[in-house]
Amino acid sequence: MSTGSNPSLPLVLLHGWGMNAAVWDGLPPQLGGLPTQTIELPGHGARTPARADLWAWADACLEAAPEEAVWLGWSLGGLVAQAAALRAPKRVRGLIQLTATPRFVQAADWRPAMAEETLGQFHQGLLDDPSGTLSRFLALQVRGSDAARETLRTLRQELTTRPEPDPRALADGLDLLRDEDLRGQLPDIACPALWLFGSHDALVPAAVAERIELIMPGARTQVIAGAAHAPHISHRRETLTAIEDFVAEALG
């Protein structure tokens, strides 16, 4: 579907678990000619929590979003964007997934994912040491990146610019990462889609790209060499180029 008839169509940006809208501060105000609009996930930043349900989180973001937009979701934000595209296909005109996946934990038929025990450790950590758990999650996001130290410093700085996430929302978000599986519904997403992965991502392995190509044959996939889970920070130029090319070629 073209955006040419509406050149002011916005680009909605959804951050990941435990983060906030400040993660997008390093991006230009327009991407591919589309003005950006950040939306915080329920219970993150200044947003109030929502019911612990993926569709409730998608509805909360849809309520805050423009009537029509291209949606870009990072990590857990990508899962919420997928749900929004399924919930309101006429409103989501394009879908960009940044180190996201339809299923975050491993299964017998889905090996490129986190072990469920890893998320279990974060759950327990939230009870014992919330701030330390969030810090460990940040470190896991940058592990293996060519610019790990600088990226981790940026993520930590960005966290401090907005209110701390609600502890209940953090626990609910981990539940979504553990329990949700949208693989069977991805073929129902008809809008143009781009999936970006990091070659060194420890949370969403780049091998997910091959699975997406089978599930969504019309989608574009790209692996950013040297990047981990936050390529928009560690490999900003490559990430922006991929997004701009997608907007121009698939949505222009």
Asked if residue 226 is part of any domain, the answer here is yes
139 assigned ligand-binding residue: yes
pLDDT at 5: 41
Predicted confidence at residue 1, as pLDDT, reads 41
* Residue type, position 76, single letter: L
Does residue 5 belong to any structural domain of this protein?
no
CATH of the domain at 20: 3.40.50.1820
Residue 69 DSSP SS3: strand
Please indicate if the annotation marks 137 as binding a ligand. yes
Query: Residue 215 has what pLDDT?
Result: 96
**CA 11 to centroid of chain Cα atoms:** 14
Has 229 been labeled as part of a binding site?
Answer: yes
Residue 90 burial (CB < 10 Å; 0-12/13-18/19+)?
A: exposed
Flag whether 214 is marked binding.
no
Domain region containing 89? 11-251
User: What phi, psi does 142 have (nearest 5°)?
Assistant: -100, -5
Q: Distance between CA atoms of 22 and 161, rounded to whole angstroms?
A: 7
Does 1 map to a domain? no
The token duo for 32 is 């591919």
Q: What are the residue ranges in the chain where pLDDT is below 50? A: 1-6
Residue 76 is assigned to a ligand binding site: yes
The Cα angle at residue 62 between residues 57 and 68, in degrees rounded to 5 = 150
The count of domains in the chain is 1
Q: How does pLDDT run across 131-141, given as a tens digit for each residue?
A: 888 888 888 88
17 is known to lie in a ligand binding site: yes
Residues annotated as catalytic are: 75, 201, 229
